[in-house]
Amino acid sequence: MARHVPTKFLDKIHVVNQAYELARGEERLSFALTSEVAPGVRFVLSKANGGTVVFTLWTDPTDIVELCGDSAYPASSALLSIDKEQARDFDRRGITIDLSQLVRSEAHPGTYYVLLDHASREQIQHVLRRLVTTQQASVAVA
């Protein structure tokens, strides 16, 4: 049986995807967190291989539960995610996202995430260093 996805959440994903298209074209010299693009959703931007790498940072607990897919949701303050198509786009530009270190969302196939016990700047940067590699240099996080 197909899992019911609330329309409100699907609308939110649509808004986030539109904002993503704008964010990936921004020039970024180093690490940055954007303002909210939707309630409880921000982008994490960093530079790698001459391009901008964009992850989505979800902080609303109901969104985190929705992306995790069930009641197995652990106590977390944030979820950092990337879509498989976005990862493929980065790969074409020489930026590799190690999806094997992320969990694949059962509720939203094609979405990969890592849960953060606290969404500090330092923890997000640490996760990015682990996940993002380039053919020329490591990801720039200042």
* 38, two tokens: 């939707």
pLDDT of residue 6: 62
Q: What is the mean pLDDT of residues 93-111?
A: 90
- pLDDT above 50 for 2: no
Place of tokens 């995610």: 81
Contact between 114 and 100 under an 8 Å Cβ cutoff? The reply is no
* pLDDT above 80 (res 70): no
% of the chain with per-residue pLDDT over 70:
80
Burial class of residue 11 in the structure, from the number of CB atoms within 10 Å of its CB (0-12 exposed, 13-18 middle, 19+ buried): exposed
Q: Is 6 exposed, middle or buried (0-12, 13-18, 19+ CB in 10 A)?
A: exposed
Quick check: 79 pLDDT over 60? yes
Q: What is the pLDDT of residues 118-130, one digit of tens each?
A: 888 899 999 998 9
SS3 of residue 113 by DSSP? strand
CA distance 122 to 137: 20
Q: Phi, psi at residue 49, to the nearest 5°?
A: 55, 35
Mean pLDDT of 78-92: 91
Please compute the mean of the pLDDT values over residues 111-116 and round it to a whole number.
91
pLDDT exceeds cutoff 70 at 87: yes
Residue 88 CA: distances (Å) to CA of 1, 7, 101: 29, 27, 16
- Using the CB atoms, write b or e for 112-140: b if 16+ within 10 Å: bbbbbeebeeeebbebbeebbbbeeeebb
pLDDT computed for residue 31 by the predictor: 82
Tell me the pLDDT tens digit for each residue of 21-51: 777 666 655 788 889 999 999 999 888 877 7
Looking at residue 139, what is its pLDDT? Answer: 47
Per DSSP bridges, beta strands 111-116 and 132-134 are unpaired
Mean pLDDT of 2-14: 70
